Amino acid sequence: MESCIFCKIIKGKIPGKIIYRDTDVIVFYDISPKAPVHFLVVPVKHLPSLREVNDEDQKLLGKLLFTARKIAEDLKIAGSGYKVVMNNGKDAGQLVYHLHLHVLGGWRKKEDWVV
């Protein structure tokens, strides 16, 4: 999609602080973090939300979660714990209509949780 900010990051038209990329998935830091570590796991394929996925996307959806786990381990937040959040639709707080996972962690104390 031409107006999608995530598609623009994927295509290199605007910068993103990219952590990981392969043919199916891109991972980059959130520009407005809600935790000490806050990154997004985004499919390269443009899917506005879970409403638009179909049977052929099952493997991709699994890869998103697997990638979230892998990057959480790489960034050393897996041991202490992290959140995985997917907002779907306006009433759920979705701001960018390109399916994505928020991975949040790195808190030292429960009182520090902002989300």
Q: Find out whether 27 and 46 touch, Cβ atoms under 8 Å.
A: no
Q: What's the CA gap between 90 and 93, in Å, rounded?
A: 5
Contacting residues for 109 by C-beta, under 8 A, at least 6 apart: none
- Which of 38, 98, 100, 102 is catalytic? The answer is 100
Q: Is 38 an annotated catalytic residue?
A: no
Where do we find the tokens 């390269």?
44
Q: Find out whether 6 and 98 touch, Cβ atoms under 8 Å.
A: yes
Q: Name the residues annotated as catalytic.
A: 100
